[in-house]
Amino acid sequence: MDIQTEKQKLAETIRAYHLKGWSPATSTNYSFRDTEEPNVLYVSRSGIDKSQFTADDFMEVDLDGRPMPGFENLRPSAETLIHCRIYRLFPEMNCILHSHSVYSVLHSAVHTNGVSFSGYEVLKGYDGIKTHETAVKCPVFPNSQDMQAFSALLERDAEMLKIPAFIMAKHGTYAWGRDLFEAKRHLETTEYLLEVEWRLRNA
């Protein structure tokens, strides 16, 4: 894996998602890891305007979220511990994306037990789903500023993660995949379904 190329590809995705309105006011965070060195994460630095995000705006941390040598003076995103927990829960996953989309916030304000999707063609965007004739539920977890507590909750309720995505209430969506391509598919599938389902329920 060429790390610089991966950084550029993810930076491009981050800027594109900003244009969708998924990362207002420097919010959201992103990461990937090298399949040959899975204990090192490349995470977005805190406080960067996502419309300007470049390959230079990643830093390296370990699987506990601690900056790697050479990066001690930089601050990783506050939510890095969530990334660490997802990578530990799903060792085959290598890329995590996050949005602060309006539709995830709207759903989670109303549907605190999760959001169900059934019968949609785009469900096939999720790994392993081959037909629209299926139903899945995107879990909603309470938001928290205590990332240790939130990642512990994620581990406790991991069996609820039947699709590679969840919502933090009134906050946003997390989605992941084996690589950037798959993680994008999973986030975009989830965001599309959230928008369609919200519009349908409020038509």
Binding site for Zn ion (CB under 5 A): 172
Rank residues 82 and 123 by Cβ distance to Zn ion and give the closer one.
82
Give the angle subtended at the CA of 18 by the CAs of 111 and 157, to the nearest 5°: 35
User: By C-beta, is 105 or 123 nearer to Zn ion?
Assistant: 105
> How far apart are CB 171 and Zn ion at their closest, in Å?
6
Whole-number minimum distance, CB 174 to Zn ion, in Å?
8
29 touches 53 (CB < 8 A)? no
| Length of the chain, in residues | 203
Residue nearest to Zn ion (CB): 172
Helix (H) or strand (E) holding 166, with range, is strand 165-168
Nearest distance in Å: CB 133, Zn ion: 33
Q: Name the minimum Å distance from CB 29 to Zn ion.
A: 6
Nearer to Zn ion, 76 or 172 (CB): 172
Residue 140's DSSP bridge partners are 167
Comparison of 97 and 123: residue with beta carbon closer to Zn ion:
97
The answer to whether the beta carbons of residues 14 and 45 sit under 8 Å apart is no
Comparing C-alpha atoms, which of 202, 181, 196 is closest to residue 6? 181
